[in-house]
Amino acid sequence: MNKKLAIIGAGGHGKVVGEIASLNKYKIIDFFDDKISKIKNYPFKIVNTVNYLKKNLKDYDAFFVAIGDNHMRSEKIEWLKNKKVNIVSLIHPKSTLSNFSNLGIGTCIMANAVVNPGTLVKDGVIINTSASIDHDCVIEGYSHISPNCSLSGNVTIGKFTHLGTGTSVHPGIEIGNDVRTGIGSRVFKNILDQQIFTS
């Protein structure tokens, strides 16, 4: 693949995304981050700030936002959408994504994650390392399913929601928008919007 990929966000999450991009055979992977002067020993090339990228969009064939904060990631992806550029999703080759699932743009599926048939993953979602999403789930935009989360069938995850590492969700549960669950949470009942849930 000879395409040039621009990635916004050169933090820890960006390192993982950059490696996935390299495994997807992108020939040129350039990062852009407003904190460029403070970033040391980064494994990928950091070209300049995001403002610099805004003036040079034509230099790239594809774009990805590697920002862990759900709302900030949404802001950058929505801006790229308005510019009508090619926003890609990045899927680790050692993940399992069903041919009978649907994936929005700007989403990352990390190593050993599983997305099963009938599941809809919307734009800008992070399905992190070894997360398991069973059949017929709906993951709304700009949410983050952390490492080792386990979602049973027919679960709905709201927009901007962040499931903490190792969260387990019972079948058929609906979790609202902007919810946060603690590490190792076990969710057996629906959760309303903007709640912090620990169990």
CA pair distance 196, 199, nearest whole angstrom? 10
**Environment class of 45 (CB within 10 Å of its CB; exposed 0-12, middle 13-18, buried 19+):** exposed
Among the listed residues 135, 144, 162, 170, the single catalytic one is: 135
CA pair distance 82, 105, nearest whole angstrom? 14
Catalytic residue check, 71: no
- In residues, how long is the chain? 199
Of 146, 152, 180, 181, residue with least CA distance to 165: 146
**Catalytic center residues:** 135
